[in-house]
Amino acid sequence: MTIEEEVHFAAVRDAILDGDLVPFLGAGVNLCGRPPNVTWEPGVHLPSGGELAHRLATDFGFKPEWGNPKDLLRVCQFVATVRGTRPLFQDLHRCFNADYPFTPVHRFFASLPRLLRDRGQAYRPMLIATTNYDDVMERAFREAGEPCDVITYICEGKLSGRFVHRKADGQRVLIEAPNEYDGGLLRDAPAIFKLHGTVERTDPAPAAAAGRGDESFVITEDHYIDYLARAGDAGLIPAELLSKLSVSSILFLGYSLGDWNLRILLQRIWLERELSANCWAVNAFADYLEQEIWKKRGVQILKMKLDDYFALLTEAFTGLPLPTAA
C-alpha cells in the first residue's frame, strides 16, 4: 500500500473500532466480486442499476426514443405511468426474490463482530445504510449468526411515507413519530437502514392487503420527488438514526454523484452535522467533475475497485493481534 492508503485504512479501521463509521451501500456494491465480463443473471448475480433498468425496459416494451433504457428512474416512471406500480413491483419482486450470493462487501461487515471478538476487541453495533432493494446484507448477518435490526421505508399503500422497524427478535414496529421513536437501535445489534425500501421474500400481497406489508421500492421519478419532499422534513428519518448519521464518519460504496436524488438526500443529512468527521467515497471510475462534487461536500475520493478495497480493509483487521493467553 502507498502511505496515503495506509493512513486511510488505519483511519477507517479506527472509526469502526470506535463505533463511528456508517457505510452507505449503493448499486455499485452489487458488482463487487462478480467475474469480469459476466452479465447479470437473475438469481445468480445481483444487478447494477443499468442492468435492472434494461431488464424492466425489455419486459415492459420501453422504446429507445422515449429515453435511455438504462436510466432506471426513467424506465420505472414509464412503467408506473402506463401500467401502474403493481405490475412494476411484481416484476421487481421476481428480480429480487432469490438467495443471491454475498459479495465481499456483505461478507466483510457480517463477519466483523466475530472477527473482533476473536481478537479481544469490542464490537460496537454498526449502522449500515443502503439504497439497494435486496436482502443480501441481512441474510449475511443471519448466516454469520449475528442478529440485526432492519429499518425500511414504505413508499406506497396505507403506510406510505413511514419507516417500519423489524427488530432482531422478529418483532415488527411501525414508526409513527420518528422524532420520538426509541426502538433501542444500535444498543445490542447492528442496524440496516434501507432508505429506498426492500423486497419481501414471502408473498407480499396478503400482508400488503392487511396493511402490514414491508415490500416497497422507491424507484420512479414520482417516488423520488415524494421521498425527497418528505426528506426535507427533519421528522422523516428516525431520530436515533439521524443522530448517528450526524456525528459519524461515512464511507460511500458503489455510488455515483451523478444521481441527483442521492445528492439531495445527502444535503439533508449534511444539515444535521455539527462537527466535521472524515467521509470517504470509493469509486474507481469517478471523473473530474464527480471528484470535485465530492470534495465540495468534504468527501475524499478513493479511485479503487471495491474488490481491491475490501481485500485491503480485511487485511487491516486480520492484522489485529490475537489476545494472549492469561
Q: Indicate if the pLDDT at residue 247 is higher than 90.
A: no
Q: Indicate if the pLDDT at residue 273 is higher than 80.
A: no
Question: Could you tell me if 146 and 109 are in contact, meaning their C-beta atoms sit under 8 angstroms apart?
Answer: no
Each residue of 23-73: pLDDT tens digit? Answer: 999 999 999 999 888 888 888 999 999 999 999 999 999 998 988 999 999
Question: Could you tell me if 127 and 191 are in contact, meaning their C-beta atoms sit under 8 angstroms apart?
Answer: yes
Rounded to 5°, the CA angle 310-311-316 comes to 90
For residue 260, what pLDDT is reported?
A: 62
Each residue of 148-187: pLDDT tens digit? Answer: 999 999 998 888 889 999 999 989 999 999 988 999 999 9
Q: Which domains does the chain have, with CATH numbers?
A: 3-41+102-318 (3.40.50.1220)
Q: Indicate if the pLDDT at residue 84 is higher than 90.
A: yes
For residue 157, what pLDDT is reported?
A: 86
| Residue 75: C-alpha distances to residues 81, 82, 293 (Å) | 10, 11, 26
Residue 239: pLDDT band (50, 70, 90) is confident
- Tell me 133's DSSP state: -
For residue 326, what pLDDT is reported?
A: 44
DSSP 220-277: SHHHHHHHHHHHTSTTSS-HHHHHHHHHSEEEEES--TT-HHHHHHHHHHHHT--S--
Query: Which of 14, 5, 21, 4 is closest to 320 using CA atoms?
Result: 14
> In terms of C-beta distances under 8 Å and separation of at least 24 residues, what long-range contacts does 114-119 make, across chains too?
114/144, 114/145, 114/146, 115/317, 115/318, 116/17, 116/317, 116/320, 118/322, 119/320, 119/321, 119/322, 119/323
Q: Indicate if the pLDDT at residue 258 is higher than 80.
A: no
Q: Indicate if the pLDDT at residue 234 is higher than 60.
A: no
For residue 202, what pLDDT is reported?
A: 78
| Residue 30: C-alpha distances to residues 126, 226, 255 (Å) | 20, 26, 11
Segment holding 92, helix H or strand E: helix 85-96
Question: Could you tell me if 96 and 115 are in contact, meaning their C-beta atoms sit under 8 angstroms apart?
Answer: no
Mean of all residue pLDDT scores within the chain: 87
Each residue of 90-113: pLDDT tens digit? Answer: 999 999 999 999 999 999 999 999
Q: Which three cell numbers stand for residue 92?
A: 421487481
Question: Could you tell me if 12 and 5 are in contact, meaning their C-beta atoms sit under 8 angstroms apart?
Answer: no
User: Which residue is associated with the grid cell 422534513?
Assistant: 233
Q: Indicate if the pLDDT at residue 20 is higher than 90.
A: yes
